[in-house]
Structure 1
């Protein structure tokens, strides 16, 4: 199975190799490493690993936490394909059919962000929702004017305004850690580009509830 494992570790020579060796000793095949943060003497890295058989997030956390100085911030299943370029694929689809740009964006964001679902909200109305997203969804607080993260019940949310379209795109993660600011910044840039490519439509992007 494919997992994303987010690890905070000392930012010093050999630190990354120490985690890699620990993962290898546990039977994991490291497919990709993404550096999210390096500051105040620590680094936060996302490892995409192939793990033989079935392993729970708790098992991964317990095993890696035994490495001195390492904190496991999350481990969750992923559909990421290391080496692929989903950002470019999304933009190509939007450029070829701009009238469906926001809908295409909403459908693609869960895979791009290691999340479960996403949807486009106009007020409390769901304009478009990805597979497994709820047909009805309301924010407990007014949406922010800038891209932001928020927690709601058992969900970790990214809230991404699309001012030109009068929408907020919501991306939800039920498993794994809160969205890192690097993830938020990347998603916000993608939304900004798609909003530029997509015309503002006078009718709903799609029927409510798909």
Structure 2
């Protein structure tokens, strides 16, 4: 089973190597690493996708990382999407394959791109909020997220973290159960990708108009 490990560490040469060594010695097999955010105080936040050797518990990985000075484990959990990462550039390339369906494709790629449990595209109606498209784990009903740009949303479930980005007259909503918290850098990425998807869709509609 794949696991997602999010760590905060000093943004200096050798820091990530020490973390990788500790994980390996504790029984973790690293499959992929992504730098999620670099902060102004000289630290970085990385997502590490890993598999555990049979019999090894996640607590062993956390303990190994915590023995390293200036390293803090922010989150570890099972990760059903596997150990592959889907980078933002790959998302853009996927959206341009069929511009007319870019908004739907954006929703489909959210779980593997942002390590969330589900994504949904919603539209405001006279009766509330309509789900236009959603991934498998999304709830059957969602409230309309009034927002400008990307932002975190309040949730009635203490175990569910939400964020959303504007898609013009629609919105893109993402949900994570348990954590980790949505970082400012993730919100900026989400806002950027939503804007690109909307632009790609608008251009496709203009090209399809007769004469």
TM-score of the pair, normalised by structure 2: 0.79
Gaps of 5+ in 2: 204-211
Tell me: CA distance 1:94–1:16, structure 2 relative to 1, closer, same or farther (3 Å).
closer
Partner of 1:204: none
1:126 is matched with: 131
Equivalent residues in 2 for 1:58-97, closer than 5 Å = 58-78=59-79, 79=81, 81-82=83-84, 87-97=88-98
Show structure 1 runs of 5+ residues with no match.
201-210
Q: Which residue of 1 aligns with 2:166?
A: 161
Mapped to 2, the partners of 1:54 and 1:4 lie a distance apart of 17
| Structure 1 segment 188-207 matched on structure 2, within 5 A | 188-199=191-202
CA contact under 8 A between 2:26 and 2:60: conserved in structure 1?
A: no
The alpha carbon displacement at 1:66 in A equals 3.3
The aligned length equals 197
Question: In structure 1, what is the Cα distance between the partners aligned to 2:13 and 2:88?
Answer: 32
1:98-130 residue CA offsets vs partner (Å, 9 max, x unmatched): 332212211111111111101112232212111
State the alpha-carbon separation in 2 of the partners of residues 108 and 162 from structure 1.
16
CA distance change for structure 1 residues 129 and 62 in 2, over 3 Å: closer, same or farther?
Answer: same
- In structure 2, what is the Cα distance between the partners aligned to 1:116 and 1:55? 24
Is the CA contact (8 Å cut-off) linking 2:27 and 2:56 kept in structure 1?
no
Q: Over aligned residue pairs, what C-alpha RMSD do you find?
A: 2.8
Change (3 A) 1:186 1:54: farther
Paired position in structure 2 for 1:179 = 182
1:43-62 equivalences under 5 Å are 43-53=44-54, 57-62=58-63
In the TM superposition, residue 58 of structure 1 has moved relative to its aligned partner by 4.8
Tell me the SS of whatever aligns to 2:161: strand
CA distance in 1, matches of 2:140, 2:111: 16
TM-score, normalised to structure 1's length? 0.79
Any idea what the Cα deviations from partners look like across 1:126-164, whole Å, max 9, x if unmatched? 12111111121115xx5221211235222122211012x
